[in-house]
Amino acid sequence: MAEDQVIIGLEVHCQLDTKSKLFCGCSTDYRDDGANTHVCPVCLGLPGAMPVLNRRAIEYAMRVAKALNCGVREEAEFSRKNYFYPDLDKAYQITQYDKPLAEGGYLEIESDEGGERKILLTRIHVEEDPGRLVHMGNNERGKYSLVDYNRAGIPLIEIVSEPDMRSPKEARKFLNKLRATLEYLSVFDSEKEGSLRVDANISIRGSERVEVKNITSYKGVEKALTFEIARQKNLIRRGQRVVRETRHFLEAQGSTQASRSKEQEHDYRYFPEPDLRPLHVRSWVDDIILPELPDARRERFIAQYGCSLNHARTLTGELKLANFFEEVVACDPRGLSMLASTWIADTLLGELNYRGMSLDLVDPESVTKLAGLLRNKTITDKSGVEVLRVMLDLRMQGEPAQAPSAIVARLNLGMTKGETGAIASAITEAINENPKALEDYRSGKAGALNFLVGQVMKKTRGRADPVELNRMLAEVLQERGV
């Protein structure tokens, strides 16, 4: 029903992966260092210091603008957004207001119904990150803040979408696609802590809009939106009104909470930053050569490697994963690609996820070798999973790596080729132990055969060659006059 239609717009802030800050030469590589060790008169907001714009930040933002099909403004400009907060060194943020770098554009995502859907963008602008606050003290009178300005002045790009998304899942997809695109453009490192922050505007059609701030993780977006939609729908169901307000996402509780911000924070008194000059960079667009982006790579994976659409989507959804896949299949794309796409997109990702392990710890060459063993039927799929688990566990525990073939030999996981005797006796055992299954098979129940195959596999620890097993089982069953 239209009355329940969910409307979501996102404002996504991503740190641009430059070497120095947006307006000064301080290093952006601050995460492992002590508080206030990466600051200078400019990013500390010392009286008299002046900003000088980092060209690379603008180049990066332009790349994003081109990749997202935005129009670059003839004249862009920086403005001051004035408000007081202890993490804001100058008591204003240098951002872009009425003359953002780029406007319009879109990003295509997979829609909930399948197929592609264009999410329209409003604008893209560049701004500086504020510092970081730590809240200290516990009772009301003992509370104070500690400020670290290392983050102050890190370049951010803000990508504002139109209210074009219809579900938390779509919002998640938008975000994932955006992240992938920024990574493909080499302008963003999603693995750096706090490198992405999202504000979301959410409403139920016909009701007021609520802004949810402070969403700092990819998973958080879906959680925050789901909570907020349920909250709003409940209000409406109970005949109450949704109040237009700003709420904060509480990651730990998975809920949103009304902000107690003062009225004054909404009057930002924007005006052009007098210490910076206008940008006329539209013509740069022509000189930007975009790398292959996720959609193009996905289509290429389908065409070149014969990946399924879903596997291609998964594999190209992260730059690292796509590169990993191509490294794995590089030595024998024809022979390995189908096998590797399933093994990486399904099995490997599942096992990594289970362990909370990063892909960085996996050596593509070992996966190539594993795929080789699977391809030439040295091991069965089942044994392959076991080899992979051993490989990952060794890596997790910091043990020396072992080649897949060595693991196969050590654990005696080689396929039972030629060991027909062992298979035959396993078949006999399985049939004798399960007369009911034999009975079911006789009466034509389809599941019975699979059950027997499974029983034989169990007895051979998964090493039986499935083709051989099927052939031999059919023979035995025939012998028994079934």
Partner 1 sequence: MVSENEVKHIGELADIGIDGEELVAFTHQFNVILEYFDILDRVSGEPAVASDLINVMRDDIVEPSLPRDAVLRNAGGQEDGFIKAPRVM
Partner 2 sequence: MGYHEIRFEPDDRYNAFLTTCTRASHGDGRLAGVAVAVKDNISTQGIETTCASKILKGYVPPYDAHAVGLLKQAGAAIVGKTNMDEFGMGTTTENSAFGPTLNPSDTGRVPGGSSGGSAAAIAAGMVPLALGTDTGGSIRCPAAFCGIVGLKPTYGRVSRYGLIAYANSLEQIGPMGKTVSDVSSLMQVIAGYDRRDSTSRERPYAHTPSKEIKGLRIGIPEEYFGPGVDPGVTRVVRAAIGRLEELGATTKSCAIPSMDYALAAYYVTCTCEASSNLARFDGVRYGPAAETKKSWHDAYQDVRRAGFGLEVRRRIMLGTFALSSGYYGKYYAKAQVARENVKKDFAKIFSGVDVIAGPTMPTIAFRLGEKSDPLPMYLSDILTVPANLAGIPAISVPCGRSEGMPVGLQIMGRPFEDERVIDVAYAYEQAVN
Per CB under 8 A, residues contacting partner 2 are 41, 44-53, 80, 82, 84-86, 89-92, 141-145, 147, 262, 264, 267, 269-271, 274-277
Closer Cβ to partner 1, 43 or 336, answer by number: 43
Question: Which of 13-21, 194-202, 432-440, 462-470 is the region at the interface with partner 1 (rule: CB under 8 A)?
Answer: 13-21
Q: Measured between alpha carbons, how far is residue 282 from residues 63, 83, 390 in Å?
A: 12, 31, 54
- For position 143 contacting partner 1 by CB under 8 A, the verdict is yes
DSSP track, 10-38: EEEEEE---SB-SSS--BS--TTS-TTSS
Which position among 186, 257, 264, 425 is part of the footprint of partner 1 (CB under 8 A)? 264
Q: How many CB atoms lie within 10 A of CB 266?
A: 9
Residue 194 engages partner 1 in binding (rule: CB under 8 A): no
The answer to the question of residue 288 lying near partner 1 (CB under 8 A) is no
Q: What is the DSSP letter of 111?
A: -
Q: Smallest distance, Å, CB 264 to partner 1? A: 5
Q: Which does 26 bind (CB under 5 to 8 A by kind): partner 2, partner 1, none?
A: partner 1
Q: What is the sign of the dihedral through the CA atoms of 50, 54, 57 and 63?
A: positive
Going through 263-326 in order, the beta strands assigned E by DSSP cover 271-272
Q: Residue 297 is encoded by which pair of tokens?
A: 């790579």
List 31, 55, 320, 436, residue binding partner 1 (CB under 8 A): 55
In a 3-state reduction of DSSP, which class is residue 268?
A: coil
Cβ distance to partner 2 smaller for residue 89 or 103 = 89
Instruction: For the CB of residue 25, give the shortest distance to partner 2 in the complex, in Å.
Output: 10
Query: Is position 376 an interface residue for partner 1 (rule: CB under 8 A)?
Result: no
Cβ proximity to partner 2: between 141 and 241 the closer is 141
Q: Count the Cβ atoms, other than its own, within 10 Å of residue 310.
A: 12
Residue 123 CA to residue 55 CA, distance in Å, equals 20
The verdict on 135 binding partner 1 (CB under 8 A) reads yes
Tell me if 186 contacts partner 1 by CB under 8 A: no
Contacts of 126 (CB under 8 A, 6+ apart): 16, 22, 57, 58, 61, 78, 95, 96, 101, 155, 156, 157, 158
Give the number of other CB atoms < 10 A from CB of residue 409: 12
- Dihedral angle of Cα 462, 467, 471, 473, to the nearest 10 degrees: 20
Shortest distance in whole angstroms from residue 284 CB to partner 1: 9
- Residue 360: CB minimum distance to partner 1, A: 25
State yes or no: residue 24 binds partner 1 (CB under 8 A): yes
Q: Find the shortest distance in angstroms from Cβ 362 to partner 2.
A: 46
Task: Give the three-state DSSP class for 250.
Answer: strand
CB 57 within 8 A of CB 239: no
Q: Which of 342, 268, 275 has its CA nearest to residue 305?
A: 342
Residue by residue, DSSP assigns 74-96 as SSB--EEEE---TT-TTSEEEE-
Q: At what angle do helices 294-305 and 319-329 cross, to 10 degrees?
A: 20
Residue 95 as a binder of partner 1 (CB under 8 A): the answer is: no
Smallest separation, CB 131 to partner 2 (Å): 10
The answer to the question of residue 40 lying near partner 1 (CB under 8 A) is: yes
270 belongs to the binding site for partner 1 (CB under 8 A): no
Query: Which of 112, 275 has the CB closer to partner 2?
Result: 275
Give the nearest distance from C-beta 154 to partner 1 in angstroms. Answer: 13
Q: CA torsion angle for 292, 308, 314, 330 (degrees, to 10)?
A: -60
Distance CA 186, CA 56 (A): 12
* Given 44, 250, 385, 422, the residue binding partner 1 (CB under 8 A): 44
Neighbours of 278 (CB within 10 A): 13
Residue 106 makes contact with partner 1 by CB under 8 A: no
Q: Which stretch binds partner 1 (CB under 8 A): 6-14, 259-267, 315-323, 417-425?
A: 259-267
> For partner 1, which residue of 71, 86, 194, 418 counts as binding (CB under 8 A)?
86
Beta bridge partners of 103: 71, 123
Q: Site for partner 1 (CB under 8 A): which residue of 50, 146, 396, 409?
A: 146
The interface region with partner 1, picked from 128-136, 177-185, 205-213, 338-346 by CB under 8 A, is: 128-136
Among 3, 5, 31, 75, binds partner 1 (CB under 8 A): 75
Task: Identify what 45 binds: partner 2, partner 1, none; CB under 5 to 8 Å per kind.
Answer: partner 2
**Phi-psi region at 254: left, alpha or beta (left = phi > 0; alpha = psi -120 to 50):** left
- In this structure, the strands spanning 210-215 and 245-250 are parallel
55 is in the binding site of which of partner 2, partner 1, none (Cβ under 5 to 8 A by kind)? partner 1
Apex 423 CA angle, 388 and 454, nearest 5:
60
**50 is a contact residue toward partner 1 (CB under 8 A):** no
> Is there binding between residue 41 and partner 1 (CB under 8 A)?
yes
Residues in contact with partner 1, counted by CB under 8 A, come to a total of: 49
Contact segment (CB under 8 A) with partner 1 among 118-126, 137-145, 160-168, 428-436 equals 137-145
Residues that bind partner 1 (CB under 8 A): 18-20, 24-27, 34-41, 44, 52-58, 75, 84-86, 133-137, 143-149, 262, 264, 267, 269, 276-281
